[in-house]
Amino acid sequence: MPLATVADGNCAYRAVSLAMFGTEDHYAYVRLMASIEMLENGQHYDIKSPFFSIEDDRIATSQYAVLVKDVVTPGSYAEMIHLYAISAAFGITLQSYIPPSASVGLAGSPYTTVVAGRDVRRTASPAFTLMWSTLTPTAASPTFNHIVPLKEKSTTDPLPLDVDDDCTFDYAAAQPSDSIDNDVSSSDEESDQCDTSSEAPTNRVLNDDVDNETDTPQSDDAGDDVDKTAPGCISLQGDFLTTAEVMNCLQRPPTGEIC
């Protein structure tokens, strides 16, 4: 899946920045690293040198002086050889890709290749893929003058939330409208599955409005001396309870205390 990059002459460096750092903002840093690499290791970027990095002579390459001028000038376009400089500067391989429609008449486009710069093992897995694109897609013979990074499209859907699993369902995050199972006749064995302590949980509340006490039966003589943290009951402050813990409390509430 292609990701958009700004078409301002820095697209190759923006694409690398986006692929490596998740933002185009570091494109100047990528250009700087490529500039240093080409200036310090000119023999690998001079088409007249026996150490020239590109072996396929179908790839058009400018003279070394032009390449250096372009790489040090913000807004100047990048050629294929500049990708080799980026590869060497960061010590990574990258996949260069051009759509098949641009390869008509060729046995295989030389621009679709693994780019391994100076002293970088070609057998290393590419860190990312750059696709050669065009700013004139409707032209009869479009010129591929733009570069964007490709992102692998995810085929994994989020796992559904299992609301029947009382031990794992996070009521605080999901905040369902009805967090208490209507079936309050669940067995003690199911209730004890999550209730691992004989003491009541403290600083935990239901996911319902605890201020609404009209639905909660109370003893008339409970008064202000009610122990709200008695075993099997629920504290009225803090976090949340699971459904199993709530039903465990409902099945055995202490007399005269709040559940």
pLDDT digits (tens, 9 = 90+) for 157-188: 454 444 343 433 343 444 444 443 444 444 45
53 torsion bin: left (phi>0), alpha (psi -120 to 50), beta (else) = alpha
Diameter over CA atoms, the chain: 99
pLDDT higher than 90, residue 47: yes
pLDDT band at 154 (very low <50, low <70, confident <90, very high): low
Judged against a pLDDT cut of 90, whether residue 44 lies above it is answered with: yes
Which residue has tokens 């699993």?
165
Instruction: Please state the separation of Cα 63 from the chain's center in Å.
Output: 40
Residues 114 and 116: their CA atoms lie apart, in Å, by: 6
- Which helix (H) or strand (E) covers residue 239, if one does? strand 239-240
The number of beta carbons lying within 10 Å of the beta carbon of residue 241 is 24
What are the pLDDT digits (tens) for 7-27? 999 999 999 999 999 999 999
Count the residues in the chain. 259
- Express each pLDDT in 57-103 by its tens digit: 999 999 999 999 999 999 999 999 999 999 999 999 999 999 886 55
CATH 3.90.70.80 in the chain is located at 11-150
Which residues 6+ apart lie within 8 Å of 145 measured at CB? 77, 134, 135
Which DSSP symbol is given to 167? T
- The tens digit of pLDDT for each residue in 110-133 reads 999 999 999 999 999 999 999 999
Q: What fold does the segment set 11-150 form as a domain? A: Cathepsin B; Chain A (3.90.70)
- pLDDT higher than 80, residue 155: no
